[in-house]
Structure 1
Amino acid sequence: MLMDLIAAERRTLSEVLGNLDAGQWRAPSLCAGWTVSHVVAHLTMPFRISEQEFADAMRRAGGQFTVMSDEVAERDSRLPTASLVAALNDNVHTPWSPPGGGLAGALSHDVIHGLDIARPLGIEYPIPDDALTTVLDLITGTGHTGTDGANPFGFRLDGHCLSATDLDWSAGSGEMVAAPARDLVLLAAGRRLP
């Protein structure tokens, strides 16, 4: 089930990316300091670099994933856009997942970064309701918060009730924040919405 949602997200996002022009690839994304090409380079990193290359990059970055990720995204954002799209399209069924995240983490990674690209470009592509609710459940779930109550993106649900206006999903209690599910995903992922 989750792998089907992942494959659908990657396939649809590949189609969106394949239709972008050069200016759109250089446009800012919702990831601070990253263009669309940086995000796609990051999104496809697990499919393009070996475990040894990953380990070497982590060593160069002093074990700091964010530093390593920025370095690889900066370097690989210069790859031909067609090769980045192909890396995503050729791996629609690849069962990669972030450490400790499982397939739900992989789906969240793909959906959040897809929205990081599409939202500032004014593109809305289809994301199944099941995918959105899976991502929302994961990134707002109490099992995925730190000791300070924040999720890995720094978002705190405390005192708020998030409610999707376009599907049957809500979480938390307190002050109501009602918005389309895509916006709630971005909010809970710590993004500033344009």
Structure 2
Amino acid sequence: MTETAVLRRHIGAQRREFADLLDSLPGASWEAPSLCAGWRVRDVVAHMTIGFRYSLPRFVLEMLKARGNFNRMADQTARRDGSAFTPAELAGLLHANADHPWKPPGSGYEAPLGHDIIHGLDITVALGLEYLVPPQRLAIVLADTTPNSSSVKFFGADLSGVRLAATDLDFTFGTGATVEGLAQDLLLVICGRKLPAGRLRGESADRFTATS
């Protein structure tokens, strides 16, 4: 099996498993805040499915509406589309498109796998759910996560003076005072998220912990 085939198999499995989890959420959870600032759970799922729902011309049109600012476009479409679909429809989009070949232009299939995993964690961590990403999938995403990678630079997290060290996988990132946690939690830190209290350890853990 080729590397691309392996990655696409992981992507399909991740989407199916996460769609199953979404099917089990009570209605109130869909309205709850996620780790993405200003986005409800339903808004995050809408964003996760944008690659299936928007053709290239539609994407370009939305970018024009946002005056060429990707972050503005993502925010506008997530909030709008999150309200336009029911929770069952949003989960159904992940089920129906588990094997969809979407990936960001110029990227490999590590990118959509990371996209699905990170935004899935934005939901499960915010809701306090016991959810562990399969380690083989997480390892693929972490291997593509270096201080100079475009994905790390995109999020712009201030990771100066800290060394992130996973307690469950062989993964470290950066140098300085050690901050420990599960590898999937450290991935969220690298992506600029503030985590609930108690998920990280170390004298600098408060830098990456939500205050409320």
Percent identical among aligned pairs is 44
Match of 1:31 among 26, 29, 36: 36
C-alpha distance after superposition, 1:96-144 (max 9, x if no partner) = 1123332111111111000001101111234111221222232334343
- Counting only pairs closer than 5 Å after superposition, residues 110-189 of structure 1 correspond to structure 2 as 110-144=116-150, 151-189=153-191
Does the alignment pair 1:191 with 2:197? no
Tell me the SS of whatever aligns to 2:57: helix
Match of 2:98 among 84, 92, 102: 92
Tell me the SS of whatever aligns to 1:186: helix
Q: Which has the higher contact order (CA 8 A, sep 6+)?
A: 1
CA distance in 2, matches of 1:3, 1:47: 15
Q: 1:64 matched to which residue of 2?
A: 69
29-38 or 94-103, larger mean C-alpha shift? 94-103
C-alpha distance after superposition, 1:56-113 (max 9, x if no partner) = 1111111111111112112111211111111111111112112333211111111100
* Matched residue type, 1:68: M
CA distance in 2, matches of 1:76, 1:190: 24
TM-score by length of 1: 0.90
Does the alignment pair 1:80 with 2:86? yes
Gaps of 5+ in 2: 1-5, 197-212
Residue 158 of structure 1 deviates from its aligned partner by: 4.6
CA distance in 2, matches of 1:101, 1:49: 18
Any conservation in 2 of the 1:140–1:157 contact (CA below 8 Å)? no
Any conservation in 2 of the 1:24–1:36 contact (CA below 8 Å)? yes
Does the alignment pair 1:14 with 2:19? yes
Gaps of 5+ in 1: none
Q: CA RMSD in A?
A: 1.7
User: For this pair of structures, how many residues does the alignment match?
Assistant: 190
